Amino acid sequence: MSKRNTQQRRHGIMSLLNETGEASVEDLARRFETSEVTIRKDLTAMENHGLLLRRRGGAIPVPRELVVEDGPSEVKRAIGRAAAALIPDHHRIVIDYGRTTAAMIPELESKRGLVVMTNSLHVANALRELENEPTLLMTGGTWDPHFEAFQGKVAEQVLRDYDFDRAFIGADGIDLERGTCTFNEQIGLSRVMAEVAREVVVLAESSKVGRRIPNQELSWSQVDVLVTDSGLEESAQEKLKDMGVRVICASPKPVAGD
């Protein structure tokens, strides 16, 4: 097989993953008319270059939450501000990993007496930088280097020993029929977060509505509030409200000079 054909096939694999959200080794071998051994070599090489993540007999695109950015976008910051506004002093909250949930942290500067549990090292480090540093609890558990967060049964058991006023959970995709979706196959911890909180708040940009993601995380019956941005269509807002979900649409601050 020539180098050119290899590059074309890998480009095709990336295009397919971005379109469908996942693909199996068997399906890729059939589509590109090559062996499963060759496809596995492709996926390994592409993962080593940070182009995708290997998952159970196949691959998925690199989640947006793992893409290195200079900082949170203004949309994420707006969502973070709106979510933080839900938190009064002396609240007990749990925050899931993710860049959108992490965008809340600077907005907690003025809050006093918070107790915060998280499975995210990034969130924990940001909390420690606050002047009014909250009481910080970590879930512990199995370290997932892809998501830089703790996962697994140990983390779930630790969570079940607590109760919280609110849980703040991100999402890779929003399915208006089913609920929130994620690239992460270890969805148990987010579901336990929802179980141990009196109110469940999902943070997600409106651009994630309709994204095809492999794993359903939370059904709408488990979600109390969706904090998103002003780009969410009115029809989607109404559909969510009909299912009992409170929708908060945050408006990003205008860029200077606009």
The pLDDT assigned to 45 comes to 78
Residue with tokens 């159970």: 56
Using alpha carbons, select from 201, 205, 243 the residue that is nearest to residue 226: 201
Average predicted confidence (pLDDT) for the chain? 88
- The C-alpha atoms of residue 45 and residue 24 are separated, in whole angstroms, by 16
Which residue would you say has higher pLDDT here, 193 or 62?
193
Edge to edge, the sheet with strand 135-138 lists: 135-138, 115-118, 92-95, 164-170, 197-203, 225-229, 246-250
Domain covering 74-250 assigned CATH 3.40.50.1360 in the classification: yes
**pLDDT per position as a tens digit, 151-204:** 999 999 999 999 999 999 999 899 999 999 887 777 889 999 999 999 999 999
pLDDT at 119 over 90: yes
The pLDDT assigned to 128 comes to 87
- The C-alpha atoms of residue 218 and residue 179 are separated, in whole angstroms, by 6
**pLDDT per position as a tens digit, 206-246:** 999 987 677 889 999 999 999 999 999 999 999 999 999 99
pLDDT at 255 over 60: no
- Rounded to the nearest angstrom, the gap between the alpha carbon of residue 231 and the centroid of all alpha carbons in its chain is 19
Contact 222, 243 (CB under 8 A): no
pLDDT band at 72 (very low <50, low <70, confident <90, very high): low
Half-sphere exposure (Cβ direction) of 74: Cα atoms closer than 13 Å: 8
The pLDDT assigned to 252 comes to 83
pLDDT at 145 over 90: no
The pLDDT assigned to 210 comes to 83
pLDDT band at 46 (very low <50, low <70, confident <90, very high): confident
- The C-alpha atoms of residue 139 and residue 192 are separated, in whole angstroms, by 12
Burial of residue 43 (CB within 10 Å: 0-12, 13-18, 19+) is buried
pLDDT band at 2 (very low <50, low <70, confident <90, very high): low
- The C-alpha atoms of residue 236 and residue 42 are separated, in whole angstroms, by 39
Domain covering 3-62 assigned CATH 1.10.1200.10 in the classification: no
Question: Reduced to 3 states, what is the DSSP secondary structure of residue 37?
Answer: helix
Q: Determine what percent of the chain falls in helix, strand and coil, rounding each to the nearest 5.
A: 40, 25, 35
Parse the chain into domains and list their residue ranges: 3-62, 74-250
pLDDT at 90 over 80: yes
Average pLDDT over residues 240-255: 88
Which residue would you say has higher pLDDT here, 187 or 75?
75
